[in-house]
């Protein structure tokens, strides 16, 4: 059985200067495991172990156990729920992970810091199953698709309890706009039924900028200040900042509006349906637009088991394997061949695979500079602490 645990959350915003990161990576210092035994012919045999670090609520129940059974490789499976937590570990180095899943705009700058191993395509015969258009789009973040394999994609939008929101707002319901959470007029009315925000500065501040008509990739400090000011105005109405707790809370009616990732909101919708509790959850891609994101499987440069990591990536690229993950978790995958393995209830669900007019509202995300991120983190702390 895989070992599944939440990794300990590290301090936000602890970024190491690139030079220091480089030195750490090159020096190989830290608690590195002992080298693997040398096999016949001088090749290094890897221990049958794989350390995977993925987002929470992002894999099917049998995905890991089937891989273990098939390969004899024991998987230690840890989860996180923000890019920031993963990044802190990757930039510190020697995370001990063999497979990680950063979003493409985080992978972009992490790759520049030398954090990842270039993929060896000769070990990925299932690579041809991937969606070529998506791969082409991703070259903006990952030139030549050198380091990452697209896993699942999504938008950051709004998950909401249809009945509670309508009851709270009466007939005046902007169920097509970020105004629902960013206009104090509406947020104040929704306070009692519960508004939650993701605990991630770029997710929320970039969404606020989109609402304001600002390019979410802007690094102008006045644009950041505008987003901060907007979010501060609705801060008194936000019950909490967390990036996964809202799935259950939306599903059981504890909260009524969450700035959410598509699939997580849809998992809340499905959990409510399964428990037949009368909660009706929907997901909204606001008319102003929403950040589009692709989470990428990648192998850290100092991964202890890079061959096992390639085997795992290749396994996930089997269409039937990744289709099962999409089926359970309601995220579309980056695997074109997987579509044929989806049940119609998922394949034809416009909330999972949005129609072209919705996709047209998605905005690509580019890497932030570390300097800008420092300013963004400070703004976030001010928002969270109300100072
Ligand atoms: N529970 C799975 C959450 C996946 C979130 N992906 C992050 C995208 C960041 N823009």
Is 335 domain-assigned?
no
In 3-state terms, what secondary structure has residue 249?
A: helix
Judge if 31 and 46 occupy the same domain.
yes
Specify the DSSP element, H or E, that contains 294: strand 290-297
Summarize pLDDT for 58-67 with one digit per residue, the tens: 999 999 999 9
> Is there an atom of ligand 1 within 6 Å of 261 CB?
yes
Judge if 11 and 122 occupy the same domain.
yes
Long-range contacts of 171-177 (CB under 8 A, 24+ apart): 175/284, 176/284, 176/286, 176/287, 177/211, 177/286, 177/287, 177/288
Judge if 79 and 33 occupy the same domain.
yes
Is 231 domain-assigned?
yes
> Is there an atom of ligand 1 within 6 Å of 246 CB?
no
pLDDT at 45: 85
**What's the half-sphere exposure (Cβ side, CA atoms, 13 Å) at 43?**
6
pLDDT at 282: 97
Residue nearest to atom 5 of ligand 1 (CA): 261
**What CATH number did the domain enclosing 179 receive?**
3.40.190.10
Is 93 domain-assigned?
yes
Label residue 43 by pLDDT band (50, 70, 90).
low
Rg, the chain, Cα only: 21
Judge if 56 and 169 occupy the same domain.
no
> Is there an atom of ligand 1 within 6 Å of 295 CB?
yes
Tell how far the Cα of 247 is from the centroid of ligand 1, in angstroms: 12
Ligand 1 atom at minimal distance to the Cα of residue 365: 10
Is 334 domain-assigned?
no
pLDDT at 1: 43
Structure tokens at 13: 């915003």
Is 267 domain-assigned?
yes
- Rounded CA gap, 362 and 359, in Å? 5
Tell how far the Cα of 234 is from the centroid of ligand 1, in angstroms: 23
> Is there an atom of ligand 1 within 6 Å of 288 CB?
no
Label residue 172 by pLDDT band (50, 70, 90).
low
Total number of domains constituting the chain: 2
Summarize pLDDT for 99-143 with one digit per residue, the tens: 999 999 999 999 999 999 999 999 999 999 999 999 999 999 999
Judge if 286 and 302 occupy the same domain.
no
Please list the alpha-helical segments (H only) found in the chain: 18-27, 63-71, 83-92, 104-112, 132-138, 162-169, 179-182, 184-190, 201-211, 221-234, 245-251, 262-275, 306-316, 319-329, 344-347, 356-359, 370-385
Residue nearest to atom 1 of ligand 1 (CA): 57
pLDDT at 29: 31
Is 90 domain-assigned?
yes
**What's the half-sphere exposure (Cβ side, CA atoms, 13 Å) at 221?**
7
Ligand 1 atom at minimal distance to the Cα of residue 203: 10
Whole-angstrom distance between the N-terminal and C-terminal Cα of the chain? 46
Judge if 215 and 124 occupy the same domain.
no
Angle between the N-to-C axes of helices 221-234 and 370-385, in degrees from 0 to 180, rounded to the nearest 10: 20
- Rounded CA gap, 66 and 120, in Å? 23
Pocket test for ligand 1, best of 293, 294, 296, 352 (most atoms within 8 A of CB): 293
Judge if 379 and 232 occupy the same domain.
yes
Structure tokens at 307: 């061959």
Judge if 189 and 158 occupy the same domain.
yes
Summarize pLDDT for 67-84 with one digit per residue, the tens: 999 999 999 999 999 999
Q: Which residues pair with 282 in a beta bridge?
A: 160
Mean pLDDT of the chain: 90
Tell how far the Cα of 295 is from the centroid of ligand 1, in angstroms: 7
Contact 204, 382 (CB under 8 A): no
In 3-state terms, what secondary structure has residue 271?
A: helix
Tell how far the Cα of 185 is from the centroid of ligand 1, in angstroms: 29
Residue with tokens 């428990």: 275
Query: Which positions ≥6 away from 159 have C-beta within 8 Å?
Result: 246, 250, 257, 258, 260, 264, 265, 268, 269, 281, 282, 283, 284
Is 324 domain-assigned?
no
List the strands of the sheet with 3-6, edge to edge: 3-6, 74-80, 49-55, 99-100
Judge if 142 and 185 occupy the same domain.
no
Is 24 domain-assigned?
yes
Contact 138, 118 (CB under 8 A): no
Judge if 135 and 172 occupy the same domain.
no
Please state, in angstroms and as integers, the Cα–Cα distance from residue 141 to each residue in 135, 311, 367, following that order: 10, 24, 7
Which range among 36-40, 65-69, 216-220 shows the weakest confidence by mean pLDDT? 36-40
Judge if 28 and 174 occupy the same domain.
no
Range of the domain at 33: 3-148+298-317
**What's the half-sphere exposure (Cβ side, CA atoms, 13 Å) at 151?**
25
Judge if 33 and 107 occupy the same domain.
yes
Tell how far the Cα of 160 is from the centroid of ligand 1, in angstroms: 18
Label residue 34 by pLDDT band (50, 70, 90).
very low
Residue nearest to atom 4 of ligand 1 (CA): 55
Which range among 159-173, 278-292, 361-375 shows the weakest confidence by mean pLDDT? 159-173
């Amino acid at each position: 059985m895989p070992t599944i645990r939440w990794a300990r959350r590290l301090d936000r915003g602890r970024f190491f200067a690139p030079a220091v990161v480089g030195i750490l990576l090159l020096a190989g210092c830290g608690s590195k495991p002992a080298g693997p035994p040398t096999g016949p012919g001088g090749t290094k045999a890897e221990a049958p172990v794989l350390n995977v670090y993925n987002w929470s609520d992002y894999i099917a129940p049998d995905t890991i156990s089937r891989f273990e059974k098939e390969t004899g490789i024991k998987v230690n499976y840890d989860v996180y729920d923000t890019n920031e937590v993963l990044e802190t570990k990757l930039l510190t180095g020697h995370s001990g992970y063999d497979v990680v899943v950063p979003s493409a705009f985080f992978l972009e700058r992490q790759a520049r810091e030398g954090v990842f191993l270039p993929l060896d395509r000769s070990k990925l015969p299932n690579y041809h199953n991937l969606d070529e258009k998506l791969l082409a789009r991703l070259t903006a973040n990952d030139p030549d698709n050198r380091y990452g394999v697209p896993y699942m994609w999504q938008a950051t939008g709004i998950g909401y309890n249809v009945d509670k929101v309508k009851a709270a707002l009466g007939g005046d319901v902007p169920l097509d706009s970020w105004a629902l959470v960013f206009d104090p007029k509406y947020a104040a009315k929704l306070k009692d039924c519960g508004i939650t925000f993701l605990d991630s500065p770029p997710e929320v501040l970039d969404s606020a900028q989109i609402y304001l008509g600002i390019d979410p990739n802007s690094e102008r400090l006045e644009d950041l200040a505008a987003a901060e000011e907007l979010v501060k105005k609705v801060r008194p109405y936000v019950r909490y900042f967390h990036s996964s707790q809202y799935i259950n809370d939306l599903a059981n009616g504890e909260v009524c509006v969450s700035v959410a990732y598509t699939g997580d909101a849809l998992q809340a919708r499905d959990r409510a349906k399964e428990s037949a509790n009368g909660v009706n959850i929907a997901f909204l891609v606001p008319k102003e637009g929403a950040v589009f994101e692709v989470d990428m499987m990648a192998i850290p440069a100092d991964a202890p088991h890079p061959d096992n990591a390639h085997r795992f990536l290749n396994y996930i690229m089997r269409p039937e394997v990744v289709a099962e993950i999409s089926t359970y978790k309601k995220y579309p995958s980056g695997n074109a061949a997987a579509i044929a393995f989806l049940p119609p209830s998922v394949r034809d669900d416009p909330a999972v695979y949005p129609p072209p007019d919705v996709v047209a509202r998605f905005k690509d995300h580019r890497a932030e500079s570390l300097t800008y991120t420092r300013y963004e983190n400070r703004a976030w702390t001010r928002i969270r602490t109300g100072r």
